[in-house]
Amino acid sequence: MAMCAEMTDDRIFRNARIDSGGPLVDFCVAGGLFTRISPGLDNDSGCEEIDLGARVVLPAFVESHIHLDKAFLEEREPNLSGTLEDAISITLALKKSVTKQDVMERAERALRMCIRHGATWFRAQVEVDPIVGLKGVEVALSLKEKYAGLADFQLVVFPQEGIEQQPGTEELMREAMRMGGDLVGGIPYNDLDAERHLDIVFGMAEAFGCGLDFHLDFADDPRVRNIDSVAARTVAAGLQGRVAVGHLTSPGAMARDDAARIIEKILEAGISVLPLPATDLFLGGRGEEPPRFRSLAPVKELLGAGVNVAISSNNIRNAFTPSGRGDLLEIGLLLAHALHMSGAAERAVVPGLFTTNAAKALGVEEGYGLRSGCAADFVVLDSVNFDDVLIDQPEKRFVVKGGRIVVENVSETTWREME
C-alpha cells in the first residue's frame, strides 16, 4: 500500500469522485503537491484525514481571460444599447476618473468572488494606456503578492484603447512588461490599423521573449478575419503554443468550408481559442434585422479539429457583460445552452474547458491536474453525481489550494412541508 510522505503538513483527502464510473480515490498531499492519488491509501504516518464523502472533485478552475480592473463598473453606468462600441466608450469615460484605490477595491472584490467559486488560477488582462496609466498594473502586482498561496497569476499587458490611437500606450506597455507583465496583449479591432497593431505587439513579444494574448475578431461579420494574420505571424515567430485569442466570434458566422480553413490555420499555429460566452452573447448578435447570429466561436468545430478551446468569465458586471459572479460552472452551463448541447456525453466536455484546456492555454498544464506531482489545487463540489455537475450547479463545498482548504461553502435547504 502507498503511504504519505513524512512531511509536517501532510494530509489525506479521502473518498473523492474524480470520474463518472471509476472507484472513489484518496489524495495524499505534501508540500502543496499531490504525492499519491489512488483508492484506499494507507495513513501510516498518522497525518490529518479529511473525508470528502464521495463528492465530485474537479481540478482547480482557471479564469483564463479575466478583467479584474474594470469589474463592477455597471453600478456606475450600464450599457443600455448593448453594443461593443458603447461598451468601449462607456468604460473609457469611466476610466478617466478611477483612482488606484478604486481599481484595487473592485478588482479584489471580483477576485474573491472567483476564488469563492473555485478559480485559483488566473490570466488577468490589465489595461495600460495614457488614461489609466500603470494603476492597473500596480494593483494586479499587489494582488498577486497579497494572494500568493491562494491564487496563481499571469498578467497580460492589454492596450484596450488601441496603441496608435492612444499615443503613449506603447511606451507604457513596455514599462508594464518591465514591471512584471507576463504576456503582451493585443486588440487589433480597436486601433487605427490592424496590421500595424500586430507589428507592434509581435515585436514587443519578441523583445520580451514572451507569448501573446489577443482580443480578436469579435464581430458578427464573417469578413472580419485578423486571425489569418495572427496565425501566420505566430508560426513565423515560432510561438506555437504560446498565443491565445479571446472571442473569435466571426468564424462562427462563416460558411462551413471557410471556417474550416481558418480552423486549420489555428491548429497549425497551436493557438488556443477562448470563447467568452457571457460577453459574446450579450454584445454580439445585435443586427438590425433578423435572422440574428448567435454570436459565439464555432466551439464544436474547433474542438473536433483538435484546437485547444477554453472558456472564461472575461468581465464581471460592466458595460461589456452586465452579469457575472466569477462562477465558471455557471459560464459552462451558459455555453452548453448556447451550443445546443444535450445529454450527459455531450456536456461532459464542458468542465474541461475551464480546467485542463484552460491550463493548457496558460501553458501551465505540466504542473496542473489531479495527478501525482501536480499542485494540489482542486474544487470539491457538493454533489456525488459526476455526470450532472453542469446541470446540477452544485455548491463548491471546498476550494483547495496547495493542499489546504482555503474556502468552505455551505448551502442548506430546509423543507417546511404543508400541514
Q: Which residues bind Zn ion (CB under 5 A)?
A: 314
Residue 107 contacts residue 48 (beta carbons within 8 Å): no
Residue 123 contacts residue 362 (beta carbons within 8 Å): yes
> Whole-number minimum distance, CB 275 to Zn ion, in Å?
11
> Whole-number minimum distance, CB 186 to Zn ion, in Å?
11
Nearer to Zn ion, 154 or 314 (CB): 314
> Whole-number minimum distance, CB 223 to Zn ion, in Å?
22
CA distances from 195 to 107, 146, 159, 226 (A): 32, 38, 15, 8
The set of residues, in sequence order, having a beta carbon less than 8 Å from that of 122 and lying 6+ positions away, is 62, 63, 66, 68, 111, 114, 151, 152, 153, 154
> Whole-number minimum distance, CB 87 to Zn ion, in Å?
11
> Whole-number minimum distance, CB 280 to Zn ion, in Å?
10
**Grid coordinates belonging to 379:** 474544487
Half-sphere exposure of 25 (CA within 13 A, CB side): 20
Residue 174 contacts residue 180 (beta carbons within 8 Å): no
Nearer to Zn ion, 330 or 395 (CB): 330
Encode burial over 200-228: b for 16+ CB neighbours within 10 A, e otherwise.
Answer: bbbebbeebebbbbbbbbbbbebebbbbe
Residue 34 contacts residue 75 (beta carbons within 8 Å): no
Residue-wise DSSP of 12-32: EEEEEE-SSSS--EEEEEETT
Nearer to Zn ion, 87 or 269 (CB): 87
Half-sphere exposure of 2 (CA within 13 A, CB side): 17
CA dihedral 319, 320, 325, 331 (to 10 degrees): 160
> Whole-number minimum distance, CB 315 to Zn ion, in Å?
7
Nearer to Zn ion, 91 or 383 (CB): 91
Q: What angle do CA 133, 168, 204 make, to 5 degrees?
A: 95
What is the rounded distance in angstroms from the CA atom of residue 412 to the CA atom of residue 417? 16
- 273: which strand partners? 245, 309
> Whole-number minimum distance, CB 246 to Zn ion, in Å?
5
> Whole-number minimum distance, CB 109 to Zn ion, in Å?
18
Nearer to Zn ion, 314 or 357 (CB): 314
Nearer to Zn ion, 103 or 389 (CB): 103
The residue sitting closest to Zn ion, measured at its beta carbon, is: 314
Nearer to Zn ion, 72 or 386 (CB): 72
Nearer to Zn ion, 30 or 156 (CB): 156
Q: Is 172 helix (H, G, I), strand (E, B) or coil?
A: helix
Sign of CA dihedral 365, 366, 369, 375: negative
> Whole-number minimum distance, CB 79 to Zn ion, in Å?
15
Nearer to Zn ion, 26 or 129 (CB): 129
